[in-house]
Structure 1
Amino acid sequence: MLPAEWIPHRRPDDREHVGWIRPEGDAWVAVSLLGRELTGPVGWLEAEEALDGLSLAWLADVWMLEREDAPPLRVRLVEVTPDGVVVQTDDFGAIDVPVERYDLPWPPPPTLRPRRPGDPDGRVLSL
């Protein structure tokens, strides 16, 4: 659940919601849509600048969902809200392939992470 003291922040040029600014003592912390801290304690203007500089392109990126006893799973973000995060297996843009959806809490656990070099790409079969 989103803490009441978190203040939504929208980019000034397009009014797109890009995160929150939360108080920490006499300072402020910029927080992403995934609930992850983007800055440490800084001044209000620095927190705004950190959020204003964000692109939302990361929402369309490939992510990895790490699992116990299995290789990481290549996923895409479907929904990101303070009520939860929904990811689904990557369909590589096809509309006729089955996908699996996973409901995660918000903020998501560290097992949901951006793709790194060396992660399975989903296009190479291991025999």
Structure 2
Amino acid sequence: MPLPETWMPQRREDGELVGWIVPQGDGFVTHDLLGRARQEAPLDWLDAEEDLENLGIGYLAEIYALRTGAGEWVRVRVVEVSTDGIGLKDDDFGDIGAPVSSYRLPFPVGDRLVPLADAPAPVRSLMS
């Protein structure tokens, strides 16, 4: 998806993109690299910058749960992030020889991808 012109990129000091700041009413809402809004109530500009700088990019290395087209939840890891789409793969638990499936989601991800702890149903994994 092409980003709306109103989405302003926010970068760390080293130039790494950490998200976007989007005008909303008299304030701003931050969006992470998966395209998810980080708050409902708008912030002032400095608080929006601080929110994304504090968020960083470490959350991308976390384990997530993905709701498949069949409605089941699977344990996945993020392997690619861009506004062209989000690449995911089964969490292989570090076993490089494990057969894994890959998945592609449109940007922004919506509610099909959640942190593992927030999955609303049992999550299938390669180890189960």
Aligned length: 124
Structure 1, unaligned runs of 5 or more: none
- Residue 88 of structure 1 corresponds to 89
Equivalent residue of 1:29, what SS? strand
Write out the 4+ residue segments of structure 1 that deviate beyond 6 Å after TM superposition. none
After superposition, where does 1:51-70 map in structure 2 within 5 Å?
51-67=52-68, 69=70
After superposition, where does 1:1-127 map in structure 2 within 5 Å?
1=1, 2-12=3-13, 14-39=14-39, 40-67=41-68, 69=70, 71-116=72-117, 119-120=122-123, 122=125, 125=128
| Alpha-carbon displacement from aligned partner over 1:2-59 (angstroms, at most 9, x marks no partner) | 11121100123x3321001111123111111111111331111110011111132211
* CA root-mean-square deviation: 2.1
Q: TM-score, normalised by structure 2?
A: 0.84
Q: TM-score, normalised by structure 1?
A: 0.85
**Greater relative contact order, per chain length (Cα 8 Å cut-off, separation 6+):** 2
Q: CA deviation at 1:67?
A: 3.2
**C-alpha distance in 2 between matches for 1:60 and 1:96:** 20
Structure 2, unaligned runs of 5 or more: none
Structure number with greater Rg is: 1
| Alpha-carbon displacement from aligned partner over 1:40-99 (angstroms, at most 9, x marks no partner) | 311111100111111322111111012365541011111111111111111111211211
